[in-house]
């Protein structure tokens, strides 16, 4: 059977070669894997300590968005990877809020017009989450979130047109070394925003019930000043 033009273009892309090129750049794979592992640690701990909470759907979405980003990046689909990164961060934000707001979550699921902006969630944490201000001052959550969100949203919405584009047609999709490094760096930055957000909100609230191994890994690399501000220990 004769292939249509779209089918020919799709099959002309050497997807396996793109994936192999990504994997051959060992540092990129290690960096993405490290970010995914830390997301998985958060996900596992929340699943075990927040059993039955319907807001866990956001945690599962967050983890899947991280996997999608890794897969898309490996295939040189950089702009779609940006969308997955932002969805990952937004899912983390939603969990940090809706875990304690089941009525609003039910409304969100029922009414498509009901929507929470990230600024509203941060404002809520600033006003109502115990110790958030001091913790975020030590970790720089808000400044990192706002800077990262602005950069990646500009890519998604086309404000920086062509900045993450690798081709002018399907058949030309392949890796660009310098751009690949930028995409991986932004994914690391996205995961770091999630990490810091959880340390100041949901993760801090549920810390006492986390496993010792998870606590050790999540505290690894934090400065003494940050640990003091968070008041999180291995005990």
Please report, for the chain, the start and end positions of each structural domain, with discontinuous segments joined by +.
14-230
Encode 132-144: b = buried (16+ Cβ within 10 Å), e = exposed. beebbebbebbeb
Cα diameter, the chain? 67
Of residues 223 and 53, the one with the higher pLDDT is 53
Task: Tell me what pLDDT residue 172 has.
Answer: 85
Q: How far apart are CA 84 and CA 35, in angstroms?
A: 14
Mean pLDDT of 164-193: 90
Query: Is the separation of the CB atoms in 74 and 19 below 8 Å?
Result: yes
Would you state the pLDDT for residue 136? 94
**pLDDT band per the 50, 70, 90 thresholds, residue 160:** low
Take residue 200 and report the two structure tokens written for it: 């100041």
- pTM of the shown model: 0.94
Instruction: Look at residue 3 and tell me whether its pLDDT is greater than 70.
Output: no
Least confident of 29-38, 121-130, 165-174, 195-204: 165-174
Contact 36, 147 (CB under 8 A): no
Nearest to 81 by CA among 12, 182, 194: 182
Q: In the prediction, which pLDDT does 1 show?
A: 54
* pLDDT band (50, 70, 90) for residue 171: confident
The confidence band for 161, taking pLDDT boundaries of 50, 70 and 90, is low
The pLDDT of residue 235 is 83
d(CA 201, CA 84): 22
Rg over alpha carbons for the chain, rounded to the nearest Å, is 19
């Amino acid at each position: 059977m004769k292939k249509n033009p779209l089918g020919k273009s799709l099959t002309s892309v050497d997807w396996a070669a793109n994936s192999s090129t990504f994997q051959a750049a060992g540092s990129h794979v290690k960096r993405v894997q490290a970010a995914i592992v830390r997301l998985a640690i958060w996900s596992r701990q929340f699943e075990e300590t927040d059993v039955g909470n319907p807001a866990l759907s956001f945690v599962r979405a967050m983890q899947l968005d991280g996997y999608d980003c890794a897969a898309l990046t490996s295939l040189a689909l950089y702009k779609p990877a940006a969308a997955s990164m932002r969805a990952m961060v937004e899912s983390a934000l939603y969990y940090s809020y809706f875990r304690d707001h089941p009525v609003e979550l039910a409304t969100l699921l029922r009414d498509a017009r009901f929507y929470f902006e990230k600024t509203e969630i941060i404002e809520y944490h600033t006003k109502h989450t115990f110790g958030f201000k001091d913790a975020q001052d030590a970790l720089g959550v808000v400044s990192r979130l706002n800077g990262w969100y602005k950069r990646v949203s500009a890519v998604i919405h086309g404000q920086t047109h062509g900045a993450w584009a690798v081709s002018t047609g399907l058949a030309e999709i392949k890796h660009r070394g310098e751009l690949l490094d930028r995409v991986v760096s932004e994914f690391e930055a996205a995961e770091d925003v999630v990490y810091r957000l959880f340390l100041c909100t949901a993760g801090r609230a549920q810390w006492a019930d986390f496993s010792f191994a998870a606590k050790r890994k999540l505290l690894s690399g934090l400065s003494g000043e940050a640990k003091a501000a968070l008041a999180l220990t291995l005990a």
